[in-house]
Chains A and B, each alone.
Chain A
Amino acid sequence: MTETDLTAYRQWATTPLQETPTYSVVIPAYNEEWRIIPTIGAIATHMCTLGKPWEMIVADDGSTDSTAQLVEDLELANLTLLRAKANGGKGSAVRRGIFESKGEVVLFADADQSTPIEQFGDLLAKLDDGYDVVVGSRAAVGADVASKSLSRTIFSFGLKTLVQTLFRIPVSDTQCGFKMFTADAAKLLFSRQVIDEFSFDLEILFLAKKFGLQTTEVPVTWIDAPGSKVDAAKVAVEFVKDLVAIRRNDHSGVYDKVNHDMSTSANLASTDSDSTDSDSSTSANSIPPASGQRAA
């Protein structure tokens, strides 16, 4: 990384994009005041080395700490902050971020930088190969997983076995918080999503299979960041319930209709309504909408 890269970052940090971004990076955040700033710094610096216009969207999920304020105070020209009045679940935060995104390619990445952003290019190469959805995987051959706790290791193995047996989804790690989509795929999938909690990733991948989207995984380096909010025992119970719910939803036709409308979400956002989707009300530094695109 060179001085040129720093110059590119400074340009991105201070000058709003005049063109539609090629890439959007969505970071869901709930009570991340301790971790969010270094993650933003690392992601911003790396993304600015790629030479394409890009935007960052931090979708706060009703944090009760100073996460949202810290992000807003950065005053980065191409960072949009979405606020929520209440904690709606990671799935709702990612959805709000996806709906706000304008890039041709959308990545959502966890706020703890547990999957280093330097792997963006590895996932992008798969999109270039024609895939619609590319999943960072800690279980694929070649993955490098550091400092993962025993409980998470056992939990992950259990999930993998269950998911592959019941759903035959073509990835070995449904839960890694590093997933890339084409814009069309992302907006289709998140418009049909109904699960907002831990299992939302699984539902999204189930929907990708249901709608015939090409999905693959890429082995990633992953570092277990201290302070993880995942309670393995509690989440395991919820996950099994959600597996059943996904099947039931599918059989009853829930996924055959739009469950979250982008335009409705955007409109409600500007009116600062109380529903979960509508809480995306504050945009610290919005990119001017390109021709034909909706306003932030």
Chain B
Amino acid sequence: MNIITTVSEVELQGRFDAHEAEAFRELADNALQNSADLRVVLTAVDFVDSTALAELVRAMKRCREAGGDLTLVKPSAPVRVILELTKLDAAFTIV
């Protein structure tokens, strides 16, 4: 039997806040069924609130528990600044 590991990628756009948190969680949980590695593209996200950050942290922990990682891909300038101000830039893998 061959096990093929793929990296799932989720691309978000617009405002990622508490209103979108549940949808993101569902998306991330589904993606994690296929792979322990998840890439979240944040290039077109203009704002993340604390709930969204908490969801990203939750997804990261789930990835790492499964032996993979969550990677934030090309976060926009405001998202990068918010990650820095909350010091979460040190916690996430950002490319």
A225 close to B18 (CB less than 8 A): yes
A74 close to B81 (CB less than 8 A): no
The total of chain A residues at the interface (CB under 8 A) is 25
Measured CA separation A72–B62 after assembly (Å):
32
B78 close to A225 (CB less than 8 A): no
CB neighbours (8 Å) of B80 from chain A are 6
CB neighbours (8 Å) of A41 from chain B are 78, 81-82, 84-86
CB neighbours (8 Å) of A42 from chain B are 46-47, 78, 81-82
B77 close to A44 (CB less than 8 A): no
Q: Is A184 an interface residue (CB 8 A)?
A: no
Count class of interface residues, chain B? 20 to 34
Q: Is B50 an interface residue (CB 8 A)?
A: yes
Render A1-21 as a binary contact track against B, CB cut-off 8 A, 1 for contact.
110011001000000000000
B81 close to A45 (CB less than 8 A): yes
Closest residue of chain A to B19 (Cβ to Cβ) is A147
Residue from B49, B50, B53 with most neighbouring chain A CB atoms (10 Å): B49
Measured CA separation A2–B80 after assembly (Å):
11
Beyond the given A1-B78, A9-B77, A42-B46, please list 13 additional residue pairs across the A-B interface where CB-CB is below 8 A. Answer: A1-B76, A6-B77, A6-B81, A9-B81, A38-B47, A38-B82, A42-B78, A44-B81, A45-B77, A45-B81, A146-B19, A225-B17, A226-B51
Q: Which residues of A contact B (CB under 8 A)?
A: 1-2, 5-6, 9, 34-35, 37-38, 40-42, 44-46, 74, 113, 116, 118, 146-147, 223, 225-227
